[in-house]
Structure 1
Amino acid sequence: MAKTMHSKDTITHKRVLTIAVPIVLSNATVPILGAVDTGVVGQLGLAAPIGAVGIGAVILASVYWLFGFLRMGTTGLVAQARGAGDLGEVSALLTRVMMIAVVAGVALIALQVPILWAAFKLAPASAEVETLARSYIGIRIWSAPFAIAGFGLTGWLIAGERTRAVLVLQLWMNGLNILLDLWFVLGLGWGIEGVAIATVIAEVTGAGLGLFLCRSALTHPAWKAWPKVFDPARLLNMARVNTDIMIRSILLLAIMVSFAFFGASFGDLTLAANHILMQFVEITAYALDGFAFTAEVLVGQALGARSALALRRGALMASFWGLLVCTVLAVTFAVFGGVIVDIMTTAPDVQAEARRFLPWMVSVPLVGLAAWMLDGVFIGATRTRDMRNMSVVSLVVYLAAVYVLMPRFGAHGLWAALLISYIARGATLAWKYPALERDAHRS
């Protein structure tokens, strides 16, 4: 029989907003940072530096988000441990994810030469863009352990509903990054190298602050109880969850990376315009992530507490607020999209090219809603196999759409294929959702 949750755990609109609003605010600083990165380079008045930062950022995001399971898997597992009242496991999980972050980050630094070689073999950009992007990536990869650790630290804080701490962390990292961007690029004239150095400094200091914010884990002796930290059954479950999420991330990143590379095939101008327009997509993703993260926490705790009713209520209430945010974003992009583009670049040809595709940006929030929100639900439930399988479907549908639409409609067909992939992921996850409630009833 499902366990009734305590009154203090009742899911209300106030509780949803208390969790989500700090996340929305903290996530809002990330696309703002991306816009500033693009904007300061855009002040040079050339398309190539904009494209180089875009390609370089996409490559690094692809590499780092292979380890994005440290954020997603940590939130789901910690939320379920909290719902079950297992505080020792909550502390032990932080130790596990930090060990993974250190090992993964050192491995990326050691493998940076083949990584860079493979990345530029895949990227069909011009020689000028490739040279600039190589310099950018070669600097930023040195902060890999700290960037990856940030995923785990953030996931642990979110699972404990400590989203104000997440806000503090993001404000520090992104605020510092923006200030250093302006100083290094516009003040000292360091170009895209200045953008990279600013990010490295922000990621290193951010990891230190994140560890300080997670210091409550040290109050329970399980954080260094090595038999518990290395418990075979828990490690196996964590490996299963994280492997599925990693595969899922690879599949979704394949869509985003191929989108950038397909766009580059239309020339540097379209590449630069697409990079600017991807800031609209990131704004949408990060705004919705606030409520998707809320769904992760509420669904995870509901499963830990064995409450199917709480699971449904958490998923629906988080999605309700996500829909409101999406509507506001769609209207904002429709009214102010051109102004946003003009702020991000002073190059007239890039401005004109980006404006051609603005109608797609208006559609992104509403089309992507189901995919982003259901991702949160399934992560909280740690139903990662379903997420992995539905991402396979989404990638296949996307590639089929590219094959059919891009030759006929050019870059417009490419944008249409991207939105179709969101629809495919949302629809297939919705088809799998009823099984979550059945599992909660059986728990």
Structure 2
Amino acid sequence: MAEAAAGFGSASRGLRALFFMLTPNESSFQEVEEVPQYVQQATPFFIGLIVLEMVVGFLRTGAPVITISDGLTSVASGMINRLPLLLMRGCELSAYMYVWDNFRLLELPWDSAWTWWFTFLGVDFCYYWVHRFAHEVAFLWAAHQVHHSSEYYNLTTALRQSLTQPFTSWIFYLPIALVVPPSIFAVHIQLNLLYQFWIHTELISDLGPLEWVFNTPKHHRVHHGRNHYCIDKNYGGILIIWDRLFGTFASESDKVIYGLVFPINTFEILYVQLHYYMFLWKKSNTYKTIGDKLSTFIKGPSWKPGKARLGDHVDNPKVTGKEVPHDPSWSLSLRVYVALHFMMVLWTYHKLFESKLMLSQLTILGMTSYILLTLTSLGFIIDQRPTSAFLEMLRCVVMVAMQRYGYLSPPLPSLSVFTEAFVSLSLLFWALQSFSRLLRIKKKEN
């Protein structure tokens, strides 16, 4: 009975953490090492709510709210965002602890409810400025644009996170480190992020009086829009009061068209993550003066010489409200194939985080590279790139080798025979596809 009660209590805390409904007493800790991995523990709730959204959305509209191509790209981005944590502690917490250890001005008590609520406000206020600067400074936008690259708006969109943004966002939280213990910050930086998961949905229309204070799906839909009235609005994390105070609030009016102003129309994961850095570099090379070259990176994404710091939206494509999200046409068999292999790599990713303390850094690096290779190759298949067969054949070779030496294992031992057969057949199929493509290339050359 005690174990069942403890399990229920843990599940209850995990679910309440998503909605910032934990009390100070149950989420205050003296040491950073005692702080639960709330984000990692939330994975089952992410999956459960995504499935619930799919079911409710289909019953309500008769159409799927999540596509395989877009949904898998969003989840893959979330995986990539957390891969650096396998090799090092997060930048935000590491920098925070350094400032706390060396420069703190005051030590607020870790077990005080006042400290807990002060940190809640402080982290959310700092997040507002992290988020706002990520839209107003081009090289920061190069990281954050990943989160806006989906042309859909559902719970998987919340998981579409940037690989590079954590390497700059830590700067904005350092003022809190002068007074708030790292253990309390470590709780709130996670809870602030978790709260923002459930607001990525179109199924919740209006929450009444709560809309005045809290960030809600209605407010955040505006933030993800590329309509003129949506751009650079509603930056809040948990609270919308910061936007109301600083003049960046916009209410939902016209139908929101989601995605980037200039859609990228690809599901290749590394391109989704890094393409805007390449764009900025090419853009800066078109200017002659050093000042204009630097301004390309530190002023707004729409900035051009002669324009104000944030530029303008004159050159943006007109949004008509009839735009259709990019969704490639590909066979059902390929969709099943990609979905199955994605579930396999997702399981590998989960086991890697679960056992990282028992693995060498070299093993972790190798398995991380395999995950990146898999996500890249599956993106090539979705995009139907000419080289997808060769890349997938290479990945299957690596997968067979890793399986042979025990680095890949199915969730259940009873599935091991099926998994080995599936992997071997995958390799054979793509080897034949690659050989067939080589023959076609040679015929064209002759």
Higher relative contact order (CA 8 A, sep 6+): 1
TM bucket (normalised to shorter chain) is: 0.3 to 0.5
TM-score, scaled relative to structure 2:
0.33
- Structure number with greater Rg is 2
